[in-house]
Chains A and B, each alone.
Chain A
Amino acid sequence: MIRVVLVDDHELFRAGVRGELAGLVEIVGEAGSVAEAAPLIRDLDPDVVLLDVHLADGGGEAVIARVAPERPGVKFLALSVSDAAEDVIGVIRAGARGYVTKTISRDELADAIRRIAEGDAVFSPRLAGFVLDAFRSGEPVGADAELETLTPREREVLQLIARGYLYKEIAARLHLSVKTIEAHVSSVLRKLQLSSRHELARWAHERRLA
Chain B
Amino acid sequence: MTQIPELPFERSERDRVVAGICAGIAVALGVDATLVRLVFALLALAGGAGILLYLALWVWAGRDRPIFAVLILALAAMALLGALGVPWTVFLGAGLLLAGLVLLVRRGATLRPGGGSLFIPGIALAMAGAVVMLDHLGRSHAFLAPGALAGAFALVLGPWVWQLTRERGERIRLAERSAIAARIHDSVLQTLALVQRDADDPQRVRSHARRQERELRRWLYGSGYGSAQTFADALAEAAADVEEGHSIRVELATAGDAPLDDALTQAVLAAREAMTNAAKHAGTEEIAVYAELDEEVASVFVRDRGAGFDRSVVAADRRGIAESIEGRMQRAGGSATIHSSPGNGTEVELTMPRRNR
Contact = CB atoms under 8 A, between A and B. Distances in A.
Interface of A: 81, 83-84, 101, 103, 124-126, 128-130, 132-133, 136-137, 159, 162-165
Given A81-B213, A83-B217, A83-B221, A162 B294 contact: no
Contacts of B294: 136-137
Given A129-B255, A164-B290, A164-B305, 15 more contacts: A83-B221, A84-B221, A124-B251, A125-B288, A129-B253, A129-B290, A130-B253, A132-B292, A133-B256, A136-B256, A159-B290, A162-B253, A162-B290, A163-B288, A164-B251
A137 B253 CA distance: 17
Interface residues of B, number: 21
Interface centre among A101, A126, A133, A162 (most CB of B within 10 A): A162
Contacts of B213: 81
A159 B253 CA distance: 10
Contacts of A129: 253-255, 290
B292 A126 contact: no
A103 B217 CA distance: 15
B237 interface: no
A163 B303 contact: yes
A137 to B, nearest CB: 7
Interface string B250-293: 01111110000000000000000000000000000011101010
Given A163-B303, A163-B347, A136 B255 contact: yes
Contacts of A163: 288, 290, 301, 303, 347
A103 B206 CA distance: 10
B215 to A, nearest CB: 14
Contacts of A84: 221
Among A81, A83, A130, A133: residue with most chain B CB under 10 A: A133
Contacts of A103: 249, 251
23 contacts: A81-B213, A83-B221, A124-B251, A125-B251, A125-B253, A128-B253, A129-B255, A129-B290, A132-B255, A133-B254, A136-B256, A136-B294, A137-B256, A137-B295, A159-B290, A162-B288, A162-B290, A162-B292, A162-B301, A163-B301, A163-B303, A163-B347, A164-B301
B27 to A, nearest CB: 83
Nearest to B222: A210
B229 to A, nearest CB: 11
A25 B110 CA distance: 73
A147 to B, nearest CB: 19
Contacts of A137: 256, 294-295
Contacts of A132: 255, 292
Given A81-B213, A132-B292, A162 B303 contact: no
A103 to B, nearest CB: 6
A122 to B, nearest CB: 15
Contact of B255 (A83, A124, A162, A164): A162
A8 to B, nearest CB: 16
Residue among B217, B292, B294 facing the most chain A CB atoms (10 A cut-off): B292
Nearest to B305: A164
Contacts of A162: 253, 255, 288, 290, 292, 301
B251 A133 contact: no
Given A81-B213, A164-B303, A133 B288 contact: no
A92 to B, nearest CB: 15
Contacts of B303: 163-165
A100 B253 CA distance: 13
Across the A-B interface, give the 5 residue pairs with the lowest CB-CB distance, nearest first. A164-B288, A129-B253, A132-B255, A133-B255, A162-B290
Contacts of B286: 164
The residue among A83, A129, A137, A165 with the most chain B CB atoms within 10 A of its own CB is: A129
A184 B67 CA distance: 99
A94 to B, nearest CB: 22
B232 to A, nearest CB: 9
Nearest to B206: A103
Contacts of A136: 255-256, 294
Nearest to A126: B253
A112 to B, nearest CB: 14
A159 B292 contact: yes
Interface string B195-239: 000000000000000000100010001000000000000000000
Nearest to B210: A103
A126 B221 contact: no
A47 B295 CA distance: 44
